[in-house]
Amino acid sequence: MVYPDTFQGFAGYSYEEWNKPKAFEYKPKPFGPKDIDIKIEACGVCGSDVHTITGGWGKTPLPLIVGHEIVGTAVKVGDDVESIKVGDRVGVGAQIGSCGSCDDCKNGSEQYCNTWIDTYGSTYPVGYHDGSDGNVTQGGYASHIRSHEQFTFPIPDALESHLVAPMMCAGLTTYSPLKRNGCGPGKKVGIIGIGGLGHFGIQWAKALGAEVYVFSRTDAKKEDAIKLGADVFVATANENWAAPLKKKLDMIVCCANSSSNFDIGSYLSLLKVHGHFVNVGLPEGEGYVINPMSLLSNGVYIGATHIGSKKEVLEMMDLAVEKGVRPWVETIPISEEGCSKALQKCHDNDVKYRVTLVDFDKAFGQ
Ligand SMILES: [Zn+2]
Ligand SMILES: [Zn+2]
């Protein structure tokens, strides 16, 4: 069987063989009036895909198709969908459902809804508002995805599919904290880590008008950081790197993907009084230890944000068009071999700075 009865993709079948995805066919959830079927054209490869498919973040249903930076064409649109029509190019990120009626959902913070549903590896709850129950969500290394209108984003023509795909998760994950914590002209903003997330963070902070301070362990990525928009680059392997910047920054967005030897105390010392340290990277393991004493001298706040809302995705894409923000992307044709290569590169941190799977027609047909 093929679409519309089943969707095809490449799935992880066991945590041990996480880097050997194999062909998998599944039946999507029942089509609801607010649903959209998307024929996928490009899908970014996110660190979450690796953390999930390896079991690093905990148990997941298997077989599992990962991928939550999805771009494609709407091929079927439910009767109650208002903002999207058949033929539109649309995107889907890391969230594909929420209750739609709680305060968070009503106030543009649907990514914090208690009934959050992940784009892959979640189970639609029994009695879910669109009628599905018990279906496991499957991601974008696939021919199609069935998504709800709220979590389906019209894409501006100016943004090419393979470049806008990584914005659906990595882009939004870094845009939202900057926006919510007041990044803008006159602000000094720190970005820790230059990877898939950080390379977006630098660009958004610059595009929003801030002065951008970039922190990386060594000088290896200095040139890239400056090309991406860094005003000041700091290698934290250097002795006393923090001293000259004490109490200089308004906020820091931490995109680091490892918490080993992470010197959070030094970073906190860089913040002005009541400055914000916002975490968006999610390394596996225990995380870092914070000594309350390290918060006293400047009264800082430590927090986090979780992806972003639909309103923020749309704003973010407009900013990308207006200011020319584009991720640095390497493309790999989707296939069993291509998925394997992409996941392995992401796992090994061997990506500058994002991989997008492309050529879906070759794998799944027109
Ligand atoms: Zn809700
Ligand atoms: Zn992601």
**Domains of the chain, each with CATH number or no CATH:** 7-169+328-364 (3.90.180.10), 171-304 (3.40.50.720)
**What pLDDT does residue 325 have?**
98
**How many Å lie between the centroid of ligand 1 and the Cα of residue 133?**
17
Q: Cis omega before residue 353 (within 30°)?
A: yes
**What pLDDT does residue 320 have?**
98
Tokens of 174: 């870094």
Q: Say which ligand is closest to the CA of 172.
A: 2
Q: Say which ligand is closest to the CA of 282.
A: 2
**How many Å lie between the centroid of ligand 2 and the Cα of residue 94?**
6
Q: Which amino acid, one-letter code, is at 17?
A: E
Q: Say which ligand is closest to the CA of 100.
A: 1
Residue with tokens 């091929």: 75
Helices 170-180 and 196-207 cross at an angle (nearest 10°) of 40
Contacts of 293 (CB under 8 A, 6+ apart): none
Q: In DSSP terms, which residues pair with 89 in a beta bridge?
A: 73
- The CA-atom distances, in angstroms, between 120 and each of 28, 60, 106, 146, 302 are 12, 9, 24, 11, 29
**How many Å lie between the centroid of ligand 2 and the Cα of residue 353?**
13
**How many Å lie between the centroid of ligand 1 and the Cα of residue 102?**
4
Model confidence, pTM: 0.96
How far apart CA 310 and CA 83 sit, in angstroms, is 12
**What pLDDT does residue 293 have?**
85
Contacts of 328 (CB under 8 A, 6+ apart): 199, 224, 352, 353, 354
Q: Which amino acid, one-letter code, is at 31?
A: F
Q: What is the pLDDT tens value at each position of the chain, 366 positions in all?
A: 789 999 999 999 999 999 999 999 999 999 999 999 999 999 999 999 999 999 988 999 999 999 999 999 999 999 999 999 999 999 999 999 999 999 999 999 999 999 999 999 999 988 787 777 789 999 999 999 999 999 999 999 999 999 999 999 999 999 999 999 999 999 999 999 999 999 999 999 999 999 999 999 999 999 999 999 999 999 999 999 999 999 999 999 999 887 777 889 999 999 999 999 999 987 777 778 888 888 889 999 999 999 999 999 999 999 999 999 999 999 999 999 999 999 999 999 999 999 999 999 999 987
Q: Tell how strand 70-77 and strand 354-358 pair up.
A: unpaired
Q: What's the per-residue H, E or C state across 108-141?
A: CCHHHCCCCEECCCCECCCCCCCCCCCCECCCCC
**How many Å lie between the centroid of ligand 1 and the Cα of residue 124?**
14
Q: Say which ligand is closest to the CA of 112.
A: 1
**What pLDDT does residue 145 have?**
98
**How many Å lie between the centroid of ligand 2 and the Cα of residue 140?**
11
Number of alpha helices (DSSP H) and beta strands (DSSP E) in the chain = 11, 17
**What pLDDT does residue 99 have?**
93
**How many Å lie between the centroid of ligand 1 and the Cα of residue 112?**
7
Tokens of 285: 């393991």
Q: Cis omega before residue 333 (within 30°)?
A: no
List the Cα angle 156/38/20 in 5-degree steps.
Answer: 110
The DSSP result for 90-114, as a single string, is: EEE-SEEE--SSSHHHHTT-GGG-T
Residues whose CB is under 5 A from ligand 1 (ion)?
98-99, 102, 105, 113
**How many Å lie between the centroid of ligand 1 and the Cα of residue 149?**
15
Q: Say which ligand is closest to the CA of 102.
A: 1
How far apart CA 99 and CA 159 sit, in angstroms, is 30
Residues whose CB is under 5 A from ligand 2 (ion)?
46, 48, 94, 169
| 176, 195 contact by CB (below 8 A) | no
